[in-house]
Amino acid sequence: MKYNIALLPGDGIGPEIIEQGVKVLNAISDVYSHQFEFTSALVGAAAIDATGDPYPDDTHKVCMNSDAVFFGAIGDPKYDNNPKAKVRPEQGLLRMRKKLGLYANIRPVNTFPSLTFKSPLRQDIVEGADFVVIRELTGGIYFGEPSGRSEDGRTAFDSCVYTVEEIERILKLAYDIAAKRNKRLTVVDKANVLSTSRLWREVAQRIENEYSDIETDYMFVDNAAMQLIQWPKKFDVVVTENMFGDILTDEASVITGSLGLLPSASVGVHTSVFEPIHGSYPEAAGKNIANPIATILSAALLLKSFDLNSEALAIENAVKEVIDQNYLTTDLNSDDPKTTEEVGTKIAKLVKESKSIQYAS
């Protein structure tokens, strides 16, 4: 099969980690006789520097004409440290989500047994943690209007807006995912304070009746933030609004011991986007030290979106093997660190060997 993949490396370490992801996808191509056609495009600070626009029309056309988007990271200190900058890399990410209709971000969080000691939490708390956070992406306070500052500059305001339709579609996706896992769903809101959260809960309680085989519970976001740290194993599928999801998924990421391990998928109306959850890490850019595993696991999610499940499993098993061998970058192995390129090459090699090796599922 032939698949057209848009490559959006972005900023900072983005180009380095995307290079390793492409290396692993090419290994899959060699083993399973698929054809991946890659088309690169600009986004973020790199796009601003080249065109003045963080998400140029040409980039959008590439994304729309592709079967999937493989995305690196965006962000640059020269914009981060300038509060008066009128154009920012992050605006490109938000616009991409909006124009591609990416209404759901899916972030699996699971621990690797040989790395639980790296977690800031006790091993007995994190061992066996395996859950998915589903974050609404195109509504809420990040997109609400009006938003801005008063004429005298002394007051700022943002609006949090949700419609019934936006809430229904993300909840139905969450229930569908829960049905394929352990049939447990947690809806996170702040219904004791916010009108939008009360609408979320109202819609969720109605839709819950359509999924009687799934156990549904409701949790205020502050309580959820606490329980994710105290009892991460109690969660299976979590669904929440945009800003709450942004915060909770970053909190959940530390459970595994490294931001460099967690992939994500953003799905919706048009082309889906697959990316690591971490940022552009500009301090490490060009040093060949960034962890490529989250990006490579995002490539596995990309393959699953095409129903190439055996191919995705080959990547996941190769990643598990390099972790078990402690063949890792400096964030996870400071005693004998491997480079970004070495880790990517090792995983690609293991993928190529996967047809002749019986991996455990």
**Residue 100: partners with Cβ closer than 8 Å, 6 or more residues away:** 60, 63, 64, 69, 268, 269, 270, 271, 273
Reported as a pLDDT band with limits 50, 70 and 90, residue 268 is confident
Same domain, 108 and 255: yes
pTM of structure: 0.88
Same domain, 76 and 217: no
Could you say which of 191, 224, 259 is where a domain stops?
259
Which tokens go with 323? 């972790």
Catalytic residue among 3, 79, 103, 142: 142
Cis amide prior to 146 (ω within 30 degrees) = yes
- Is residue 335 part of the annotated active site? The answer reads no
- Is residue 76 part of the annotated active site? The answer reads no
CA separation, residue 141 to residues 48, 107, 151 (Å): 24, 20, 21
Stretch 138-157: mean pLDDT, rounded? 93
* Residue-range definition of the domain harbouring residue 205: 103-259
Q: What pLDDT, on the 0 to 100 scale, is given for residue 360?
A: 40
The domain that contains 272 carries what CATH number? 3.40.718.10
Q: Cα(321)–Cα(358) distance, rounded to whole angstroms?
A: 13
Q: What pLDDT, on the 0 to 100 scale, is given for residue 356?
A: 55
In whole numbers, what is the pLDDT of the chain averaged over residues? 94
Catalytic residue among 23, 76, 189, 190: 190
Same domain, 252 and 316: no
Same domain, 92 and 139: no
- Is residue 53 part of the annotated active site? The answer reads no
Same domain, 250 and 304: no
Stretch 38-44: mean pLDDT, rounded? 98
CA separation, residue 23 to residues 128, 145, 332, 348 (Å): 30, 42, 21, 6
Q: Mind listing the pLDDT tens digit for each residue in 234-265? A: 999 999 999 999 999 989 988 988 878 999 99
- Is residue 304 part of the annotated active site? The answer reads no
The domain total for the chain is 2
Q: Mind spelling out the 3-state secondary structure of 121-137?
A: CCHHHHCCCEEEEEEEC
Percent of the chain with pLDDT over 70: 98
Could you say which of 235, 259, 283 is where a domain stops?
259
Q: What pLDDT, on the 0 to 100 scale, is given for residue 358?
A: 41
Residue 259: exposure state from Cβ atoms within 10 A (0-12, 13-18, ≥19): middle
Same domain, 189 and 216: yes
Same domain, 226 and 151: yes
- Is residue 250 part of the annotated active site? The answer reads yes
Catalytic residue among 67, 130, 158, 246: 246
Q: What pLDDT, on the 0 to 100 scale, is given for residue 103?
A: 95
Same domain, 111 and 255: yes
Q: Cα(53)–Cα(42) distance, rounded to whole angstroms?
A: 9
Same domain, 107 and 232: yes
Q: Cα(314)–Cα(296) distance, rounded to whole angstroms?
A: 11
Catalytic residue among 176, 222, 287, 359: 222
Same domain, 134 and 233: yes
Catalytic residue among 49, 53, 130, 250: 250
Same domain, 124 and 244: yes
Stretch 154-174: mean pLDDT, rounded? 97
Could you say which of 259, 290, 325 is where a domain stops?
259
Same domain, 150 and 114: yes
Q: What pLDDT, on the 0 to 100 scale, is given for residue 349?
A: 97
Identify whether the C-beta of residue 89 lies closer than 8 Å to the C-beta of residue 50: no
